[in-house]
Amino acid sequence: MTRVSLIRKLRSSARCMRRARMVARALKSRDHPILAQIVPVRRCNLACAYCNEFDNFSKPVPTAEMLHRIDLLAALGTGTITISGGEPLLHPDLDEIIRRIRSHGIIATLISNAYLLTPERIQRLNRAGLEYLQVSIDNLTPDEVSKKSLKALDLKLRWLEEYAEFDVIINSVLGSGIRNPEDALVIARRARALGFAAGVGIIHDRQGQLIPLDEQQRAVHEQILELGKGSFLTSAYYKHFQNNLVRGLPNDWQCRAGSRFLYICEDGLVHWCSQQRGYPGIPLERYTREDIAREYNTKKPCAPYCTITCVHQTGMIDLVRERPREALAGFFPPEQTKGVAGLPAAIKVLTWLFPPETRGLPTGMARRLFRAAAMKFLGLD
Ligand code: SF4
Ligand code: SF4
């Protein structure tokens, strides 16, 4: 193990603790955003055929404005900020933006196509305090749909393995426009071999809605899930939400976009998500706790066939908060987990905090004491 990969592992444990604290705070109260996505620049250096989130001309948002937006999100109590685009590495002051996020104690995540990464750029991201980097790779060799290929990016992945102190998540995709579904499996295996987390997404239409997968794509999805374990949120997500979508089935959930998830465009307006821009379309400057409370209960007609992973995941936290027993039983059905012993460690803690009656775990005073101790340990009492 190299010095950097050891640092990455050690820091990863500390990050786990920070994430646990963020989730516990979200379980305790619904009055703040769990996750906000911000766009420092709409321009991208690529032009993927399925993408509606980029242009080839926009200037970067002025740095002072970006820092102000981060301060506003911090004042709303935001737990995690994801920097997306366009391609965020095109912003000249990205490091300063990351530093400002971290200065508020907020978890800092970046989504990038990785084309502009160099060893020196990765080390700058380390110094800025980046915690998670998410890279999507669509195919093995570039084609007319996407240039985000393993062939073009493998060197970047090796540099990340060698230099990154932050966690790296490699996402492959399945769905319409991707010529060879098996590419996703090769990409996921390569990510795991390099010690990175591997995820898989489903390509959506221009409103974020599902385009059903065929038999072959479903089989590849199954194989990717068998490759590896992620955080409890991620594995619950795949078992519950994505499994339904892969089979062409709707999800029965309440989307909390505009409340627990905020999408802040380059103009500083709050939208439900990247695919439903225009609603509510209120400047972040004027976004208040009343807006957060209203949007928490606003029904989104696009929810049943929505494929937006990060919004599903924030919704899952509220499902656990509001209906813990039903939610945990839904995410981790007994036939898939072989009972409590088969659950991820974090879920064992949650099931202890919110024990389903049928499991015969201690209730009443013991549970209340344990919950109080856990909240104290997480600094949330
Ligand atoms: S790299 Fe990302 S932002 Fe750029 S065109 Fe492709 S999907 Fe869109
Ligand atoms: S359900 Fe929510 S996250 Fe999904 S497309 Fe609609 S507003 Fe966006």
Whole-number Å distance, alpha carbon 126 to ligand 1 midpoint, is 23
Q: Is 44 in the pocket of ligand 1 (CB under 6 A)?
A: yes
Long-range contacts of 93-97 (CB under 8 A, 24+ apart): 93/60, 93/63, 93/66, 94/40, 94/128, 95/124, 95/125, 95/127, 95/128, 96/63, 96/67, 96/128, 97/40, 97/63, 97/66, 97/67, 97/70
**DSSP codes, 156-207:** HHHHHHHH--SEEEEEEEESTT-S-THHHHHHHHHHHHTT-EEEEEE-B-TT
CA dist 231 and 241 (Å) reads 15
Q: Is 86 in the pocket of ligand 1 (CB under 6 A)?
A: yes
Whole-number Å distance, alpha carbon 20 to ligand 2 midpoint, is 25
Which of 242, 251, 309, 311 to mutate for ligand 2's pocket (most ligand atoms within 8 Å of CB)? 311
Ligand at shortest distance from the CA of 44 = 1
Q: Which numbered atom of ligand 2 lies nearest the CA of 306? A: 4
Give the CA distances from residue 37 to residues 107, 203, 258, in Å, rounded to whole numbers and listed in that order: 12, 19, 11
Per-residue model confidence (pLDDT) at position 356: 47
Per-residue pLDDT 10s for the chain (381 aa) are 788 888 898 888 889 889 989 988 998 899 999 999 999 999 999 999 989 999 999 999 999 999 999 999 999 999 999 999 999 999 999 999 999 999 999 999 999 999 999 999 999 999 999 999 999 999 999 999 999 999 999 999 999 999 999 999 999 988 767 778 899 999 999 999 999 999 888 877 777 677 778 888 888 888 888 876 555 667 777 777 888 888 889 999 999 999 999 999 999 999 999 999 999 999 999 999 999 999 999 999 999 999 899 999 899 889 888 887 777 777 766 655 555 455 556 666 665 665 544 444 555 676 667 666 666 665 555
Q: Is 76 in the pocket of ligand 1 (CB under 6 A)?
A: no
Whole-number Å distance, alpha carbon 360 to ligand 2 midpoint, is 37
120: which residues sit within 8 A by CB, 6+ positions away? none
The answer to pTM > 0.85 is yes
Q: Is 46 in the pocket of ligand 1 (CB under 6 A)?
A: yes
Ligand at shortest distance from the CA of 210 = 2
Q: Is 84 in the pocket of ligand 1 (CB under 6 A)?
A: no
Per-residue model confidence (pLDDT) at position 52: 92
Whole-number Å distance, alpha carbon 81 to ligand 1 midpoint, is 19
CA dist 3 and 5 (Å) reads 6
Domain segments of the chain as ranges: 3-322, 327-381
Q: Which numbered atom of ligand 2 lies nearest the CA of 302? A: 6
Q: Is 112 in the pocket of ligand 1 (CB under 6 A)?
A: no
CA dist 197 and 189 (Å) reads 10
Q: Is 152 in the pocket of ligand 1 (CB under 6 A)?
A: no
Residue nearest to atom 2 of ligand 2 (CA): 255
Q: Is 245 in the pocket of ligand 2 (CB under 6 A)?
A: no
Which of 262, 265, 297, 302 to mutate for ligand 2's pocket (most ligand atoms within 8 Å of CB)? 302
Whole-number Å distance, alpha carbon 251 to ligand 2 midpoint, is 12
Residue nearest to atom 8 of ligand 1 (CA): 51
Q: Is 88 in the pocket of ligand 1 (CB under 6 A)?
A: no
Q: Which numbered atom of ligand 2 lies nearest the CA of 273? A: 8
Q: Which residue has the tokens 């590419």?
A: 183
CATH number of this structure's domain 3-322, picked from the four choices 1.20.1260.10, 3.20.20.10, 3.20.20.70, 2.60.40.1180:
3.20.20.70
Q: Is 306 in the pocket of ligand 2 (CB under 6 A)?
A: yes
Structure tokens at 168: 């790296």
